[in-house]
Amino acid sequence: MTASSIQKIEEKFKTEIEGCSNREELLRVKGSFLGKQGEITALLAQIKDMPKEERGSFGKDVNVLKGKATKLLNEAMEKFDEAQAQKNKPDLSLPGTGRQMGNLHPITQTIEEISSIFKKLGFAVETGPEIETEFYNFEALNIPAHHPARDMQDTFFIDQGHVLRTQTSGIQIRTMENQEPPIRIVAPGRVFRHDRDTTHSPVFHQIEGLMVDEEINFKHLKYILRLVMQELFGAKREVRFRPSFFPFTEPSAEMDVWSPEKNCWLEVLGCGMVDPNVFDAVGIDHNRYSGWAFGIGIERMAMLKYGINDIRLFYENDLRFLRQFV
């Protein structure tokens, strides 16, 4: 192997390096010349078979070639790496893309806002199962077996003794079974009723409340509910109570809120004093304790609060609608 042969390999290496257009091609050239089977590596392997007097100068020339090749290869690598970095560098003159943050559903926001108001008034928030026994959903609430609410056309029955709860009142019953008065709770959650008309949904949300203590009367009920509505809709919002009937309260009433937008009264909740039969079902002495309860439809409250006129908007998952409630 002569010096001219080494020179040819060097020129060939330079030519191939200059012809590379990307990093992958550089790696291929590196393997061809400096890899285990590469041409420069093969020159180094020949040294041991050469005469002693030729080994020194030849080995020196080959190592110089290897050093030049390695330097050229590294410079070419750095050049491509720098070009790639410039290519990937963000253009700071372009407007930012930003990131769309999520937000709570308006129904969830309404539940949290109402719950927060009651927490300030000393009420605890309780939860319970969505599949209830007939006892907790009906019997303990003074709804006997012959009551129309227990018909198949009004209630989703799971089996002979279990239903999808039609109200969160079962949470009130469970609380009174396990807690001695005084009791102050609210119970938010999903409820299910067999409604199929265009103005109702078979799945909706309620928040019910219960207060039990000695010497509780209807004035306490009216004061608390009026305060909550004015916290939600403003101190000047008018409210009124109308006589009504519910199996689990006596006397009973419905509460209306005045809607300036619709120029009419809108019903927002039912309420009343806890019926003595309900206290008897949970073992509370109705001669000593009294209490009141209420039930609010969350969708109706959200529609009134945000000026929404179609309940279906809550369930269509249209981001254009939902992003308005940040």
Local confidence band at 61 (pLDDT 50, 70, 90 cut-offs): confident
Which pLDDT score, from 0 to 100, does residue 277 have? 95
- Two tokens at 298? 């969350």
Mean pLDDT rounded to a whole number for the chain: 87
Confidence check: pLDDT of 153 > 60 = no
Q: Give me the CATH topology for the region 106-322.
A: BirA Bifunctional Protein; domain 2 (3.30.930)
pLDDT tens track for 309-319: 888 899 888 98
Q: Label the pairing between strands 239-246 and 162-164.
A: unpaired
Q: Where are the alpha helices (DSSP H) in 248-297?
A: 276-282
Does residue 182 have a cis bond before it (omega within 30 degrees)?
Answer: yes
Question: What percentage of the chain exceeds 90 in pLDDT?
Answer: 48
Average pLDDT over residues 133-143: 92
Rounded to the nearest 10 degrees, the angle between the axes of helix 23-34 and helix 3-18 is: 170
Local confidence band at 147 (pLDDT 50, 70, 90 cut-offs): confident
Which pLDDT score, from 0 to 100, does residue 2 have? 59
Confidence check: pLDDT of 1 > 60 = no
3-7, 115-119, 162-166: which is most confident? 115-119
Local confidence band at 217 (pLDDT 50, 70, 90 cut-offs): very high
Confidence check: pLDDT of 110 > 90 = yes
Which pLDDT score, from 0 to 100, does residue 198 have? 58
Q: Which amino acid is present at 115?
A: S
Which pLDDT score, from 0 to 100, does residue 119 have? 96
Between the alpha carbon of residue 83 and those of residues 21, 89, 145, 179, the distances in Å are: 11, 10, 81, 73
Average pLDDT over residues 244-260: 93
Local confidence band at 58 (pLDDT 50, 70, 90 cut-offs): confident
Average pLDDT over residues 270-292: 96
Which pLDDT score, from 0 to 100, does residue 144 have? 83
Looking at per-residue pLDDT, the higher value among 150 and 109 belongs to 109
Q: Label the pairing between strands 290-297 and 203-213.
A: antiparallel
Q: Which residue from 173, 182, 188, 144 is spatially nearest to 281, judged by alpha carbons? A: 173
Output the DSSP codes for 124-184.
Answer: EE----SEEEHHHHTGGGT--TTSGGGSTTTS-BSSSSEEE-SSTHHHHHHHHHH-PSPEE
Taking the model in full, what pTM does it have? 0.68
Rounded to the nearest 10 degrees, the angle between the axes of helix 52-88 and helix 39-46 is: 160
Which pLDDT score, from 0 to 100, does residue 151 have? 66
Cα separation, 188 vs 173, in Å, equals 14
Sequence spans of domains, the chain: 3-88, 106-322
